[in-house]
Structures are given as structure tokens and as C-alpha cells.
Structure 1
Amino acid sequence: MNFMMDEGQERIQATYRDNYDRLVAIKTKYDPGNLFRLNQNIKPS
């Protein structure tokens, strides 16, 4: 996960597995403008 670049959203979801939905909720709450969007990006909902 540390060396992923532009792997696509499906690969990122597969990497985070069951934690992905929780991470999206956190990202939406604390970074809705997607300021921190480098490498292993979890897009806000």
C-alpha cells in the first residue's frame, strides 16, 4: 500500500478491504474538499 500510485479505485478498495467504508466516512467528514489527495487516495463521498 505504501508504494501504490494511480492504481484505480477498485485496487484501493481491495487494499483497505472492510475498512474502506469507514475511511470514506472519515475522509468525507474531515477532508470534504479532498485537500490530501496524493497516492493512496480515498475519495470523499
Structure 2
Amino acid sequence: MINFTFWLVVTLLVLHYCNLVWLTGAHQKTPSHYQFMPIPSRVSSQRT
């Protein structure tokens, strides 16, 4: 009972932590890099 509860809590914490890390990492970095890297370069190159 104690072992199962401990495993359950640890699993939930790890999943929650990984979910937060994945959301912040993938959700923030990917759109930022995709929007900030190609758009200014291409827009500057095309307009100039």
C-alpha cells in the first residue's frame, strides 16, 4: 500500500514535471524561433 502510493505520487510528479518542461520548451521556443528566425531575415532580404 505504501509502496504503491509512493510509486503513484512519484509517477504523477514526474509526469507533471515533464509535461511542464515539454510545454514550456516546445510551446515557447518553437513558435518564437520559427517566427523570429525566418520572418525578419526573409522580410529584410526581400524588402531590401
TM-score, normalising length from structure 2? 0.29
Higher relative contact order (CA 8 A, sep 6+): 1
